Structure 1
Amino acid sequence: MNNQNFAVGVDIGGTKIASILVDPTGQIINSDYRMTAADQGPQESINRVVESIASVLKGQAEVSGIGIDVPGLVFPELGIVENAVNLNWDRVNLVEIIREKLHLSVPIFLQRDTFAQTLGEHYYGSALGEKDYVYLGIGSGLGAGALINGQLLIGSNHGALEVGHLALTGLKNMCGCGRIGCAETLLSGPGLLKTYLSPGWRPDVKAPNFNGEEISVEKVIGMARENEPRASLLINEFGRYLGELMADLVMTLNPSSIVIGGGVGISAFELYLDRAMEELQHRCFPQNTRSLTIKKSSLDSSALGAASLVWYSMKENQ
């Protein structure tokens, strides 16, 4: 296999940078993981991205391309990260910076993180080879992507599928965007934890006495797994609202499958799935759910999504 059969994938998160050198089968040849250090300013985190790429490229004369995903608004055709709040980046010409610092001539592809993860499921994950599916990422926020007829659904201004800010029926939580009832005020790690700890949510079912112990979303999911009443009720409500959201996506896009990823989406999958499916089927036409499958993400590395940008873009440019 020659070097042009490899791709570099770089997943830039609010806390960590994951870079890999991978072949088309998903075999990771080289990897680098380091902290983003977003609190030290944009220049420091950008330098760390450059160093991470240099590390995985060591010893490779040439690769097919580099794919980079970022949690924020990007303009892929310009190579610019317009805004990434978690990184404290504002209009960063990331592709040009990387190209200049590393003296690279290979193609570099930039995309929003959820769109990249969507492609990752097609090339390496739970939607392998599928042409019509939706990806939902439930973690620190709620994001989505979709492949429809084999094409990534992006939108005219790269803003398609901002599902975290769709209002759901009866949800009354205040969102950080200033609106009420946005999906991610419950369907996310922070939303789940905040709801559990809120005295106003189900005041009839009290939380146990934690004796000053700090409570995390992982703790809440663990308690639901052990049938603690308040946590179990909350996961049931989580499933009900997730089912409503998925029903809207199914009736709009008619996918063959929905793949759920993200830390919360994966760790609580078996706990909320039945309730979510019940709600989804209640809200959809039978023909739209007859062959629909709901799957858990199987990507081994978040950077596989970024690497998939290379293979997808090469196919699109043929």
Structure 2
Amino acid sequence: MDEQAGPAGAAQRGTHTPVLLERVLTLLAPALADHPAVVVDATLGLGGHAAALLAAHPHLTLVGLDRDPLALERSRERLAPFAARTHLVHAVYDEMPQVLAELGMSGVDGVLFDLGVSSMQLDLAERGFAYAHDAPLDMRMDQTSGIDAEHVVNTYAVPELARVLREYGEERFAMRIAQAIDRQRQVRPLRSTAELAELVRTAIPAATRRTGGNPAKRTFQALRIEVNGELDAVRAAVPAGLRALQVGGRIVVLAYHSLEDRIVKQAFAALSADTTPADLPVPLPGAGPEFRLLVRGSQSAGDAETTANPRAASVRLRAAERIKEAV
């Protein structure tokens, strides 16, 4: 969620506040300050983090990626004062290696991922991400390609649909919801977010509806992840971001649900551990960790930030620094 808005409709008013902005700037600063550094903002969104980084580091070059053409267009406008120091590319974040190769960059000094859906996408009702607004069932971050949510709910077999809801939404009533969707689509296809949200509400037990917020939240998350292939992209992109860093380079990742955060945690752990077999008395040459963790566990937003910006409530930040060359 690169650009996090406060009140609904903030996207249209341009009042976006990037999540954990000061913490992100502080963590990346040692790798970017006082030299001609390169940072990759792999989830550019509306450019809030990117603008702050460019303003803080006058010698910085920024490579910004986003799969959403509209977000890229808006961030290009926002970053216009820094145009000479930016390369903005229409690409999914797992395409980072190809983008850097095309730019002739063999290594970078910083990488930032702000995962999930952006507040621009949430606040533009016609994109179909939000269950609070009636809109076509789309949910594509890049509306120029790929399947949409309408295709998923109307064509996936019940077991496959239930799997998507269970694995990506961690929805315990996944089969009930999938069966309810199937009954409805036998009558007529589902076309709108409001129709789907109401169907989910009625499909789950009445007692469950009274707790835990909107009962459609997990279903919408699952469909969005499926439509955009988000977890597969994260699995490829975070290791690629780690590999791209030069010694002294730093990576910061903001994740918003446990599935993303688990992938990030595992990727960081794999490269921040000594690989010497446990039964050897001394570390093996070359077996030491490539990275050191900069945050113990993960970091959340503080009470003040989550009060001002409710979309920051679920964020989990992890960060690491490369301390030796890749083996």
Interval containing the TM-score (normalised by the shorter chain) = 0.3 to 0.5
More strand by share: 1
TM-score for both structures, normalised by structure 1: 0.33
State TM-score, norm by structure 2: 0.33
Q: Please identify which structure carries the higher helix content.
A: 2
